[in-house]
Amino acid sequence: MDRVRPHASERDDILSMMLSARYEDGSKMTDRDIRDELRTLLIAGHETTATTFACALEELHRPENAHVRARLQDELAAAPAAPEELAKLPFLGAVIDETLRLHPVVEMVLRRLRRPWRLGDYELPAGTSIGVALPLVHQRADLYPDPRRFDPQRMLDRKPNASEFVPFGGGIRRCLGAALSLYELRIALAVLLREATLALREPRPVPIVRRRITLGPQTGVRMQRIA
């Protein structure tokens, strides 16, 4: 930070943007705040994105989803190779979203009430912590018919609203790295599927387990390059 700070206004990287940022009152972010934000992006965003990537590969290479993979590969074959163009592909984005729906990386998003709030029949006082259970929201049959089926087309037919699709949380506390994660996932998945032919080496779905605060494949997802 000390090395970059004198030149921050001339650069466009994330660290420089944070060093140049100002709050509404004109004050700067503290070095501690910047450090914590960078940790969120670089550390919290690594395992979570990799987990979603693994789950997407598993879903795409299941025999029952061969038609989904074929459609995605057709879209990729017809697209320019530039990353910014790949990131705009609609079916690629739908595949990522459907993976996040079926396999959210965290199971609950917590919020603490700043004022009393009524939830159904419950009167909750200020200071109460409440949580949104992501798997329960994402597998509601009234929102997602046949909810356990991997069907990216549903994400194109109807765009779920911010309270129906919450893999990154919601509101002003939505995950800071959401846009970066989605961009990384689209580019990485597109490049891999364009340049390699893979086969799934898992005879049955890999169990999803909790790892500290995240959810992910218990043993990873074993793939083999065949071309």
pLDDT tens for 109-157 read 889 999 999 999 999 999 999 999 999 999 999 999 999 999 999 999 9
For residue 23, is it within any domain? no
The per-residue pLDDT for 41 is: 73
Of 150 and 180, more confident: 150
For residue 215, is it within any domain? yes
CB 75 within 8 A of CB 91: yes
pLDDT tens for 190-225 read 999 999 999 999 989 999 998 878 889 998 999 999
For residue 5, is it within any domain? no
Of 26 and 177, more confident: 26
The per-residue pLDDT for 47 is: 83
The per-residue pLDDT for 51 is: 94
For residue 114, is it within any domain? no
pLDDT tens for 54-101 read 999 999 999 999 999 999 999 999 999 999 999 999 999 999 999 999
223 CA to centre of own chain: 21
Per-residue pLDDT band for 11 (boundaries 50, 70, 90) equals: very high
**CATH code where residue 195 lies:** 1.10.630.10
The per-residue pLDDT for 37 is: 86
Domain count, the chain: 1
Q: Tokens 């018919």 label which residue?
A: 145
For residue 13, is it within any domain? no
Query: For residue 158, what are the domain limits?
Result: 28-104+142-225
Paired residues of 119 in beta bridges: 122
Q: Report d(CA 185, CA 205) in Å as an integer.
A: 21
Structure tokens at 112: 């603490």
Structure tokens at 105: 């990386």
For residue 89, is it within any domain? yes
For residue 165, is it within any domain? yes
Per-residue pLDDT band for 174 (boundaries 50, 70, 90) equals: confident
Per-residue pLDDT band for 175 (boundaries 50, 70, 90) equals: confident
CB 60 within 8 A of CB 72: yes
pTM of the model: 0.82
Q: Report d(CA 61, CA 153) in Å as an integer.
A: 17
Per-residue pLDDT band for 177 (boundaries 50, 70, 90) equals: confident
For residue 136, is it within any domain? no
